[in-house]
Structure 1
Amino acid sequence: MTPEDLAQWMYSRLQDQGCVYQDESVGKALYPTSNEHLYRVNDDGNIVLATGVLAAFRKMDNEKVVWVKPDRYWRWRCSTDEPGREQRG
């Protein structure tokens, strides 16, 4: 699986469900076989998506998708969102 493959899976999941959680996406990178180039361990010891996956995902969304940091998921931008990619909820 390439970073682009995982980004496409994430985008499809977003289209189907309206949001996609980071844990769900990391799980896709880990199973059934570990794709170590798709994730990394951050400073807090959490497994997160690799930069290449995030870059590929950003190219797909054209600023239509926002990151909800407290709950660690992506969703479609709505009219009440503040400027910027990162949102509170």
Structure 2
Amino acid sequence: MLDQFEAKRFLYQEEAATHLLHLHNEALAYFDNAGNVCVGRGVLAAFNKLTPEAVYERGAKFWRDRLPTDQPGRQQ
């Protein structure tokens, strides 16, 4: 995830989670109750720690670099 984010400066959740899902480990990725593929909590915590200036666009479901106009906090 980190390599992809650093290369493009953004990363879609579904792209990352789908890649992790192919590793067949529910700790890395799983399907939620609504059927959405999600990044595992441990992976997400590590990614957040490694990318402190990234923000998550909740509506579009992707991470991107923080902009000067962003509100405080991780989610926008």
TM-score when scaled to structure 2?
A: 0.88
RMSD: 1.3
Q: Deviations over 1:13-58 (max 9, x none)?
A: 1111110001110121123x42222112223221201100111111
Identity of matched residues, %: 36
Q: How many residues align?
A: 76
1:23 aligns with 2:11: no
Match of residue 71 from structure 1 = 60
Q: What is the SS of the residue equivalent to 2:33? A: coil
1:52 aligns with 2:42: yes
CA distance in 1, matches of 2:32, 2:18: 16
**Higher helix fraction (1 or 2):** 1
CA distance in 1, matches of 2:75, 2:61: 10
Match of residue 5 from structure 1 = none
TM-score when scaled to structure 1?
A: 0.77
Asked if the contact 2:31/2:37 (under 8 Å) is kept, the reply is: yes
